[in-house]
Structure 1
Amino acid sequence: MEYKDLLVVISNLKERLAVLEKENLSLKKENSILKERLAYYNTPKTSLNSSLPPSKDENRPNQSLRKGSVNKPGGQLGHKGKTLEMTATPDHIVELHPDYCCGCGASLTEIESVKDLVRQVVDIPPIQAFYTEYRSYSKQCSCGCTTKGRFPQNVKTPISYGPNTEALVGYFHARQYLPFGRMEETFNDVFNISISEGGIHCLLERFAAKTTPVYQLIKQRVSNSPVIGTDETGAKVNGKKHWIWTWQTDSATYIAHSDTRGGDTVKKEFPEGFTKSTLVSDGWRPQLTTPALHHQACLPHLLRRLNYLNEKYVDQQWGREFQQLLYDTISIKKENEFGNEQYNKLTMHSVLKLEYLLNNPPDKEFKELYTFYKRMRREQQNLLVFLYIREVPPDNNASERAIRNIKVKQKISGQFKTITAAQNFAKIRSVIDTTIKNRMNVLKALIEIAKFEYQFVN
């Protein structure tokens, strides 16, 4: 082979090599993408290792972040049991006197009875609608002027529903989550009151308006609290996805409707933020950017995320150490007296451990874990606030409980047909949740609100 021919062969080989190198790069890229996809199926996201709701779990794993307890199931030592108790003033008494001897059959009618045993049955009497008739009379004065008796402010039509019925509509709607159709059936069958779905809608509108003063008072109380939890969840309104937000404390729950999940909702509801409060949240950006004295991250959310990362990246230790640190910090507050010597010692150890882990990052090859690490670096000041302030919890569970009723309502009753309907539910549910937190009778509280005069609301 001549020199010229060798040059041609070499040139062809170079071209072929360039093509193969290009194909190799393409295959490597494709391989990396396929590995990522395969990793998703090897380590699927569930409610245990991510923020996905349990309803999205394919296999519905029966697991929990909570560690096992040494206690046996059932009532624990010191738990005060409850039982149905007899009353000292029964409404109806049935006396059971024997007429004949069970031994010989002789008559016992002339023998005085001795009370031997008492048993009671508690039941509900037949429910009948209670009608109150208002009769207006007129009187003519000697001056010639005729004066008529005034009807109460809320008695405006020939016949209307009273405050008890109005309160029950609000109770069934936002406490028991009954759809309008089942509510109509309940009033007809149980209370013997004829009412249509349209009538229920009108009563609900009227009752929601009466809750406005209490609703605003709840908002003010939440805003002035030293510790506030917040959360949000999606809600379908007239076929579109809207959002229900909550800001809550140990004694009050404020729920609001919004058409956005963005920070505009926070600015609208609380334009000044919470500059004297600690805000506990799941870490959603609008919540983290809300002005507050302190922010506390929800540690169970981070633990679920670490569950996923540790399952996905088996050949690493950083994620497991960080997860154990979070478990340890929760235990410190749960198992030790706040502020004592042991508590302070363990707290300082946790702070130093956190500092160490954040100064020694995981390998960048664990892509999602490294992203999590960078987030923890940014939010370091939000992780252990609860160890320094007694009232601050390490989780956002209370806010999740306050917002979960929206999902229950929509699973039972379906979507809200209008924005006003969503707003009305938020107002009534805020009052109900606050009533529950203050250990008050929910229905009695709603009845008192239903008795408000309409001009007071307006």
Structure 2
Amino acid sequence: MTREALESLDKEALIQLVLAQAETIAQLTRHVEVLTARVADLEAKLGLPPKTPDNSSTPPSQGRKPSADPASSKGRRRSHPGAHRPLHPNPTRRRDILAERCEHCGTDVTGVMQTAFHAYDHIELPKIAPDVTRVTLHRGLCPCCRRPFRAEAPADMPPGSPFGPNVRAFVIYLRVAHAISFERLARLMSDLVGLSISEGALVAMLAESRRPFARQAGLIRARLLAGAVLESDETSVRVGKRNWWLWTFHHGADCCFVVRPSRGKDVVAAFLGEVRPAFWVSDRFGAQMGWAGTANQVCLAHLLRDAEYAVEAGDLTFAPGLRRLLVRACAIGRRRPALADATLRTYRHQLDAELDRLLRITPMHAEGDTLKRAIEGCRHSLFTFMVERSVPPTNNGSERALRPCAVFRKVTNGFRSEWGAHLYADVRSVLETARRRAIGALDAIRATL
């Protein structure tokens, strides 16, 4: 606006113009303050180290491994004793080969006493072909009452689906344990077994298997709830067009999976019902905390990675000492079977005293402050494993249980239907429990069916 235009305005118009400009200046000032704070936050983040699987909860699949330096090759490897495949403990058949003639002079040696000097196995697969039994039911007319009668179907070969339990177990094993898609599974059954099965028939096999696996998963859950310790974790999974969560609850020889659209406490509450285990092992996720009747045990491996990140970020006062403390605690956990109860109590008093000393230190970096607040929040859940021997110091068992599920998710991209996701959780419950009991996957599936 020019000077002439301003001089032509009356007093009231000038006042309104000045007020409007003042409001605009105030809005711009607030916007500048927001942008300045944002720039400062971004500049602070630029100075932070990148989060990797070694210093955070970033999955190993998202970590980048540096290229190896060609100049730092290990050189020639040391020689080691040779190894060979051991002989099969229970061969299908045996062949004793006796010499007929002397390899030097050609003399007939068939009647000479001979001793074994070498044995080896020759392994071969038989021809794989489906075993098809044609069942024909007959009927007739009773000569006594003159009424029609008919033969009943054999109990081991009922009418309906033509596929027996071994075929269904094989399909479930390949689908769940090896994440084979339905299209590839149908082609594999045709090429490998010589059995033509449509994708729809494969889906029907899985659908018919829901009830026995749900029943077995319920038994596993009941055994877990009867124990004193529970360990838990969760991972995301795609169901239809939504993000769901696959939870694992396990301890010892039992492991149960449930899939739900929620990551909240309602999932844990539904799994536990009225039961509250004495001890609970998990990370510091809020939905998994507060369920133990006696004490929680937070995962020391997660805290150790957080301490590593705080050290890399620049905290040189609090985080290094905490890292050493957690490393020592994990080492004690590995040695725990060989330690007496009195020794464990002594170690716990030492760790508690050292932790109290560390918590009096003022961190020199914001990441150190965050780490210190986290430790203060779970202060009484760090060394529960030294009181109860059945409690592990880390939640690595849950991550190992979920690892096949993460591989399945990456290969298949999730599930089309909700019932498919629930069936997968039940089958994984059976397979993981069987693995912990040294039972083969196919044997466990056959027994469940």
TMscore range, shorter length: 0.7 to 0.9
Matched, 1:57 2:63: yes
Deviation at 1:233, TM superposition (A): 0.2
- The 1:61/1:354 distance shift into structure 2, 3 A limit, reads farther
- Name the amino acid aligned to 2:392: P
Work out the CA distance in 1 between the residues paired with 2:113 and 2:92. 20
Note the C-alpha offset of 1:291.
5.0
Counterparts of 1:267-278 in structure 2, within 5 Å, are 267-272=269-274, 274-278=275-279
Is 2:297 the partner of 1:296?
Answer: yes
Would the aligned equivalents of 2:284 and 2:299 in 1 still touch at CA under 8 Å? yes
TM-score with structure 1 setting the length: 0.80
Report how far residue 296 of structure 1 moved.
0.5
Give 1:219's aligned amino acid: R
CA contact 1:136–1:151 (8 Å) conserved in 2: yes
For 2:225 and 2:84, the matched residues in 1 are separated by 37
Identity within the alignment, %: 24
CA shift digits 1:80-106 (9 cap, x unpaired):
x994324565436484754x66445x5
Q: Provide closer, same or farther for how the CA distance between residues 255 and 115 of structure 1 changes in structure 2, counting only shifts above 3 A.
A: same
Aligned-residue RMSD, C-alpha: 3.3
Range with greater deviation from structure 2 (163-172 or 202-211):
202-211
Residue in structure 2 matching 1:207, options 206, 209, 229: 209
SS at structure 2 position matched to 1:242:
strand
Letter in 2 for 1:321: G
2:419 maps to 1:409: no
Where in structure 2 are the equivalents of 1:58-457 lying within 5 Å? 58-59=64-65, 83-86=85-88, 90-91=92-93, 93=95, 95=97, 98=100, 102-103=103-104, 108=108, 114=114, 116=116, 117-138=118-139, 140=142, 142-152=144-154, 155-157=157-159, 160-272=162-274, 274-314=275-315, 316-335=316-335, 337-358=338-359, 360-363=360-363, 366-450=365-449
Tell me by how many angstroms 1:206 deviates: 1.4
Aligned to 1:13: none
SS in 2 for 1:45: coil
Number of paired residues? 408
Which 5+ residue runs of structure 2 have no aligned equivalent? 1-29, 69-77
Tell me the equivalent position of 1:37: 45
Look up the SS of the partner of 2:394 in the other structure.
coil
Q: Cα distance 1:141–1:285, how it changes in 2: closer, same or farther (>3 A)?
A: farther
Greater RCO (Cα-Cα under 8 Å, separation 6 or more): 1
Once residues 28 and 159 of structure 1 are traced to their aligned partners in structure 2, the CA distance between those partners, rounded to angstroms, is 69
**CA shift in 2, pair 1:326/1:143, >3 Å:** same
Equivalent residue for 2:54, pick from 21, 43, 48? 48
Call closer, same or farther: CA 1:208–1:28 in 2, change over 3 Å.
closer
Cα deviation for residue 309 of structure 1 reads 0.6
> Which amino acid in structure 2 is aligned with residue 444 of structure 1?
D
Q: Secondary structure at the match of 1:190?
A: helix
TM-score, reference length from structure 2: 0.81
More moved, 375-384 vs 249-258: 375-384
CA–CA distance in 1 between the matches of 2:47 and 2:326?
26
* Cα separation, 1, equivalents of 2:293 and 2:148: 63
Where structure 1 has 5 or more consecutive residues not aligned to the other structure, the ranges are 1-21, 63-72, 76-80, 451-458
* Residue identity matched to 1:317: T
Local SS of the residue matching 2:121:
coil
